[in-house]
Amino acid sequence: MTLDQILKLQSIIDKRSIRSDTLEFLNQTRYSHSKQTNIRFGDMHIDHFLKVCANIMPDNNEDKEKFNEMLEKVKKKILQEFSHGNH
C-alpha cells in the first residue's frame, strides 16, 4: 500500500480532505539507489518509506532500536487497519 493510498483512505474515513502541506510532501522525491531514479514519496510503499525513516536515525543503537520497534508497530497497525493483515 502506498502513502497516496493510505492518505486517500484516511480522508474517506475521516471525511476530511488531505492537508495541502501533506500533499506537497507526497509530491517531493528522493533518489533511490536501487532503482537509480527519483521516487515520489506518495508512490512509495509504506514498508519502504518506514525503512527510509529508520535509516536516517542517529547511530545510537538504543535509540535506533526503539525507533525501529515503533516503526514495526506502526506498520502492523496500518496493515491491520487497511488490509486486514493481508500483504
Q: CA 9, CA 83: separation in Å to the nearest integer?
A: 11
Tell me how many domains the chain contains. Answer: 1
The single residue listed with the C-alpha cell 493483515 is 85
Count of other CB atoms within 10 angstroms of residue 50? 19
Residue 56, domain extent: 3-83
Res. 84: pLDDT tops 70 = no
Where do the H-state alpha helices sit in 1-87?
Answer: 3-14, 20-27, 46-55, 61-83
Q: Any bridge partners for residue 64, and if so which?
A: none
Q: What is the pLDDT of residues 16-69, one digit of tens each?
A: 898 898 899 999 999 888 889 999 999 999 988 888 877 776 666 777 777 778
Res. 87: pLDDT tops 60 = no
- Which pLDDT value is given to residue 54? 73
Residue 20 CA from chain centroid, whole number = 17
Percent of the chain scoring above 90 in pLDDT? 33
